[in-house]
Amino acid sequence: MEDLTRLAGRQWVDGQEDFSINSGLKKIAAIAAGKCNRCGAQVTAQLPNGKKYCRACLGIGRLVEGDYLVRNQTAVSFPVTPDGGLTWEGQLTPFQEQISTKLVSNFYKRRDTLVHAVTGAGKTEMLFALIAECLKNGGRACIATPRIDVVNELFPRFQAAFMGLKIGKYHGREFQEPGLEQLTICTTHQLLKFYRAFDLLVIDEVDSFPYVNNLQLHFGACNAVKKLGMRVYLTATPTSDLMAEVKQGKLQIIKLKRRFHGGLLPVPEEQLFLRPFLQKGRLHPKLLTAIIATIEAGHPLLLFVPRIDQIPLYIAALKHEEELQDVALDGVYAADKQRLEKVQQFRDGRLQLLVTTTILERGVTFKHVWVIIVAADDQIYSASSLVQIAGRVGRAQDDVDGLVLFCYRKYTANIRSAMRQIREMNR
């Protein structure tokens, strides 16, 4: 008999009708009235045998009509401790401190909260006291984020701040045997595997793909938290649905307009291009000038291009230029096998220029970096991605400003909205 305590708060699929149900387990039809009970989607797809299955949450295991969803509601209790296991000894800035205190008091009121903090505000540190507060009372907490990169970045930071605590880390690219951890860090997809598990659920980068506008992931996030649990959303660019919840009084908003070093966000420069950015293998002279000026100023440069297939074209064009002959440059994209290695080389200064897609738009910090976005008017850049990309610049205490250049041929609503959000946060 498997120990079911280990799987407390989780839900999984079972095809068998007659397995024995003990007290902690609940069994419901996986698909009922044409809807999937795991992700809330309408179920229309059919197998050859005529049975319906849910296509929306297929990625974490197929749910077929007639299957059961087993929900483990075994009560678990974690030890009550004086400090919740927090071993971090750093200092918060007065701004961070205010938010941190407010989050703790909202936790006791179970008030769902939206933290609107500029990029580079030091959001992670502001969460430590909140998480510790939940854990010290024997509660269970989860930090979820849409992006695997962000899970990988957050995990070591939390592990360093809660040194004695075993933290669960789950995402689709790394198999972990499911365990019972008091603190879990995972992707928002993984939340579909939990049911009424957490007293506190924090969703970081809530405005980013694939969570944003994904009703199934929102459904999963709602189910993962206990009825009397608290939800906290973190974002630098709140989406309209979250702002609507704020207006309706369902969410309380707290704003942090200062970066941790007290500086403002760099305001992007905008440049209109009448001719293509790249033509017959040569860069537009204005674009080339901006690139050379950055390199000569001694700053590492992230050059954002909309699509993967453009990376080699830009690299070839850059290598063609005499002024850039001695510059170490490369390109990186999501499925690049050497992705981590290249990012590390860029971080170490072994690469001076990295041509990249939006994969490096958030969750990464490079000292003294400047950024140029080619075709900022491309539809791949939402207002939120543009704000995030601009937020890569000026994060260091000793270097709070820098170049963010939006190159465009047609001024778009997204560029306008990104500029407005940045100016608003700086006010």
Residues near Zn ion (CB under 5 A): 36, 38-39, 41, 54, 56-57
Helices (H), 119-231: 123-136, 148-161, 215-224
Smallest distance from the beta carbon of 47 to Zn ion, in angstroms?
15
For residues 414 and 384, what is the distance between their CA atoms, to the nearest angstrom? 8
187 in Cβ contact with 142 (< 8 Å): no
Instruction: Report residue 46 as tokens.
Output: 């059919």
374 in Cβ contact with 357 (< 8 Å): no
112 DSSP assignment: -
For residues 382 and 392, what is the distance between their CA atoms, to the nearest angstrom? 16
Residue type at position 399: D
Region at 256 (left for phi over 0; alpha for psi -120 to 50; beta for the rest): beta
Please say which residue, 56 or 383, places its beta carbon nearer to Zn ion: 56
Smallest distance from the beta carbon of 37 to Zn ion, in angstroms?
8
Smallest distance from the beta carbon of 392 to Zn ion, in angstroms?
35
Helices (H), 256-302: 285-296
Instruction: Report the candidate in 199, 204, 224, 229 with the shortest Cα–Cα distance to residue 135.
Output: 199
Smallest distance from the beta carbon of 36 to Zn ion, in angstroms?
3
For residues 420 and 400, what is the distance between their CA atoms, to the nearest angstrom? 20
3-state secondary structure at position 125: helix
Smallest distance from the beta carbon of 43 to Zn ion, in angstroms?
7
Please say which residue, 38 or 116, places its beta carbon nearer to Zn ion: 38
CA distances from 408 to 203, 274, 276, 300, 412 (A): 32, 9, 10, 22, 9
Residue type at position 325: Q
Q: How distant is the alpha carbon of residue 309 from its chain centre?
A: 25
Smallest distance from the beta carbon of 53 to Zn ion, in angstroms?
9
Smallest distance from the beta carbon of 16 to Zn ion, in angstroms?
20
Please say which residue, 39 or 236, places its beta carbon nearer to Zn ion: 39
Instruction: Report residue 305 as tokens.
Output: 């291009």
Instruction: Report residue 427 as tokens.
Output: 């006010």
Please say which residue, 39 or 134, places its beta carbon nearer to Zn ion: 39
93 in Cβ contact with 150 (< 8 Å): no
Please say which residue, 57 or 256, places its beta carbon nearer to Zn ion: 57
Q: In what order do the strands lie in the sheet with 252-256?
A: 167-170, 183-187, 141-145, 198-203, 225-235, 113-117, 252-256
Smallest distance from the beta carbon of 195 to Zn ion, in angstroms?
13
Smallest distance from the beta carbon of 207 to Zn ion, in angstroms?
23
Smallest distance from the beta carbon of 26 to Zn ion, in angstroms?
18
